[in-house]
A and B are shown apart, each in its own frame.
Chain A
Amino acid sequence: MTTATRAKQLGFLQAINRAQTEEMTRDERVILMGQDLRANVFGAAAGALEKFGPSRIRDLPLAEAGSIGVAAGAAMAGLRPIIDLTVASFVFGAMDQFVSQLAKARYMFGGQATLPVVVRAALYYHGGTAGHHADRPYPMFMNVPGLKIILPSTAPDLLGLLKSAIRDDNPVLCFEDANLWGRKGRGPIPDADHIVPLGQAAVRRTGTDVTIVGIGLGAFLAEQAAAELAADGISAEVIDPRTLVPMDWPTIFESVTRTGRLVVVDPANRTCSAASEIAARVAEDCFDALRGPLVRVTTDDTHVPFSPALEKQIYPSKDKVVAAVRRTFV
């Protein structure tokens, strides 16, 4: 790609900045809080402080539990906070506030509370960051009713979904696969006020022999694998759910009903992954259509090792996806 065409493309960090800027301009109840926003250390907050001022753009002290709980309270009292938690591994220190307050307050208080909170966190794996920075914890939150979860794989989708998330009256967790920050995640710059509704999958490629559902970087790998399989005469349909909660089950079921085969590519750890849930639901709802085993391509159930000699092998890869598709043809 030449520099000129790349300049016309939207990257992940620009998508975040544009979504936040547009929504903060549109609705003054939206505030943005995170670590190192004013110095724009992560690169997605350029110009925010100048535009919206220190009352609406706040650097948080290192206090993850407090940050999520404060957002929940501010939301109950009329604001629409966006929390930039930066790295997804930092969610763990805030788990109680996510589960006990953010997710449950509306239900437990009989619908009195409204919690329009967006929490953003990057999946920072594949880069030598080791066990404390490389988690992909979204399936843990899929296990908590009351939270919505988006996990876009292209910058235009990120822009549109994040805007929907900010407008949604429920807590939405936005996980950003940092492997897509560069070339892999770029896409055409959408027109003004580009909205992607929550809960709508994207069919990236149509096919007839097998359905590959890919999450985050997994969607990119699925497309690569589909191209390789096409050369072998296997026609793969690639679906990117984009939203994990609520999941677009009709699109997935319709596809698997046609193809009879399913592979799910998910960067999360294998056990109780998003892939596990998708496979289970397909087994329950599309059983009669199935013509082969449901195969998950996930990260192995281990921690992320530091050494470059160890790390890469634990994650999904294009080759693992191709091999998984072949397994469905037993």
Chain B
Amino acid sequence: MTVSTEPTALPAEFACAGGRELAMEMMRRMQRVRLFEEATKVLFHAGELPAMVHLSIGQEAAVVGACLATGTSDYMTGNHRSHGHPIAKGARLDALMAELLGKATGVCGGKGGSMHLADFSVGSLGESGIVGSAIPVATGAALAAQVRGSGQVALCFFGDGAASEGVLHESMNMASIWKLPVVYFCENNGYAVSVTAEESLSVPDVSMRAAGYSMPGVTVDGQDVLAVYRATAEAVRRARAGEGPSLVEAKTYRFHEHAYGLQVPTPYRDQSVVDSWFATVDPLTLFHDRLVAWDVATSQELDALRAEVRSEVDAAVEFARVSPFPPPEAAYTDVYKEVTA
């Protein structure tokens, strides 16, 4: 069963003190992801991107709901669909955008690029171009938090495709036997490139895998930012209380091609259905309408918020464009930690 929130009554999370701020922050971060990705599309079409990008458009509620259930000092790892995670975790947009253009001011100095964003200042320990490869890394960060007794948790994003990788299973078992404070978060968008989740998974819901590792598993409506937030917040609470790992699965939608602009010779999904998602399951529209219905914000306020984020994204693009490229010698630094006297 996929859990959604009730659209009618004002939810407790937003009714309490600070509730409106939380709701507006959810919207702000979803807009940041969406508008950052829209700007990335423009750069793609202008031929300004050095390489391919995997957009998070359609999956904003999943990444934002999950990240906002953690704090800036908590850890996070991600995957190749890589822009939404650090943005949702609170990273600065300008350094992310500069990274996409391979500039010296990029968050990784231009060495990582789109698929390998990392911003340790907000707990983002790195996206991974190798599917599944960062899953044990999040697990290890949780181990460190446990050993140090820091109270931090680790949030581990992966896709339905990555759910077939052995490292997920190895990691979930380790986390379970050691009761590590980690939240495995599956963005199930139904596809791994052209292969459906149905075809590649032995279970209808990735969350069912949790049972094999004696941890709670829950599937939520990934288009419902509050439902995602609730489920992740409960997993985070458990983790902080020393009760161990959880698996949260958000059923969501990838609105664009696997990599933006990728030409797939044989169609594998019905484009008219995909196009209809913008009208039916757009997480930003859904949340917008609820905020208005709940009287949390007016349409005008939400428009103003969007305009603010747009300026922030425009400034990030401008910053990225005018930033210098790294000097050639940078290709050879940071292979090792250099010894400082």
Contact = CB atoms under 8 A, between A and B. Distances in A.
Q: Do A and B come from one complex?
A: yes
Contact of A36 (B114, B130, B194): B194
B113 A128 contact: yes
A76 to B, nearest CB: 21
B326 A307 contact: yes
A271 to B, nearest CB: 12
B243 to A, nearest CB: 30
B166 A66 contact: yes
B111 interface: yes
A40 B266 contact: yes
Interface size range on B against A: 35 or more
A93 B102 contact: no
A63 B192 CA distance: 12
Interface string B144-172: 00000000000000000110111100000
Interface string B263-304: 011111000000000000000000000000000000000000
Contact of A310 (B115, B167, B331): B331
Interface size range on A against B: 35 or more
Interface string A35-50: 1101111010010000
A227 to B, nearest CB: 27
A309 B195 contact: no
A62 interface: yes
B158 to A, nearest CB: 10
B112 A129 contact: no
Contact of B265 (A39, A90, A127): A39
Nearest to B268: A39
Chain A, interface SS category: loop
Nearest to A303: B335
B85 interface: no
B133 interface: yes
Interface stretch (A130-138, A212-220, A284-292): A130-138
Interface string A292-315: 000000001111011111110110
Given A59-B195, A302-B331, A132 B103 contact: no
B328 A132 contact: no
Contact of A131 (B129, B195, B330): B129
B325 A61 contact: no
Contacts of B115: 130, 132-133
Contacts of A247: none
Contacts of B264: 36, 39-41
A89 interface: yes
Interface in B24-75: 50-52
Given A41-B264, A93-B130, A302-B335, A131 B162 contact: no
B218 to A, nearest CB: 23
Enumerate the 7 nearest inter-chain pairs by beta-carbon distance, A residue then B residue, closest first: A132-B129, A306-B113, A307-B102, A128-B51, A309-B325, A39-B194, A307-B110
Interface of B: 50-52, 99, 102-103, 106, 108, 110-116, 128-133, 161-162, 164-167, 192-195, 199-201, 262, 264-268, 325-326, 328, 330-332, 335
